[in-house]
Amino acid sequence: MQALILGATGATGQTLTQQLLADARFQSVTVFARRELALAHDKLTTHIVDFRQPETWQDKVRGDVLFSCLGTTIKAAGSQEAMWAIDHDLQLAFAQAAQRNGVPRYVLVSAQMADANARAFYSRMKGVLEQAVTALGFAHTAILRPPVLLRPDSDRAGEIWATKALAVFNALGLLRAYQPLRVEYLAAAMIAASLRDERLRIWEAREIRDVLLAQAA
């Protein structure tokens, strides 16, 4: 299979790229990024693109599966509007390009409690994106809603706080469905999801652990 990755410079994307390069089922891995990856491999092609100029990259989104794991924070983006432009608009634009170019499979990393009708900005943004990419009608769409992620050297204050709080609750046997997930496990689950043949499936955190990771093992 020929894999495409949007978000390859993030923690999840970097790990996913490494796993795909080591996976014999994937003959090539193409990533779209603003900068070079600190990684070289015979199977790897990197397109350095200006995401604000879709005419320069739209025709290159061709392969068997698009993995979309792009993400930012309001702190990094500078505002809710800027975050929406990255986390929603750009991911949707890539999905639309992939669909037009005949890519049959699409895998999106969303979030727990994604809901297009939510009052919370982040949950609403993720829910609206889920609806939009689902409407594109890929032959196979997988949407993963992972819990808080354990990233190496994370500087996301919300993730750090949530991880510590959940550790306390989980020690008491509570909130098991919200137990933090290591990015390497999420990457493995994304690959497992990409190889399944459901037309559309939304994977909640517990299913990611119980089904996809069991399949990947």
Task: Single out the residue of 199, 67, 217 nearest to residue 208, CA to CA.
Answer: 217
Q: The whole model's pTM is what?
A: 0.89
Tell me the pLDDT of the chain (217 aa) as tens digits. Answer: 999 999 999 999 999 999 999 999 999 999 999 998 888 999 999 999 999 999 999 999 999 999 999 989 999 999 999 999 999 999 999 999 999 999 999 999 999 999 999 999 999 999 999 999 999 999 999 999 999 898 676 555 554 444 444 455 454 454 556 688 999 999 999 999 999 999 999 999 999 999 888 998 7
Structure confidence at residue 217 (pLDDT): 76
Q: What CATH number is attached to the domain comprising 39?
A: 3.40.50.720
**Is the separation of the CB atoms in 17 and 8 below 8 Å?**
yes
- Domain hosting 49: range is 2-216
Bridge partners of 109?
144
Q: What is the pLDDT of residue 216?
A: 84
CA-CA distance, 141 to 158, in Å (whole number)? Answer: 29
How many domains does one find in the chain?
1
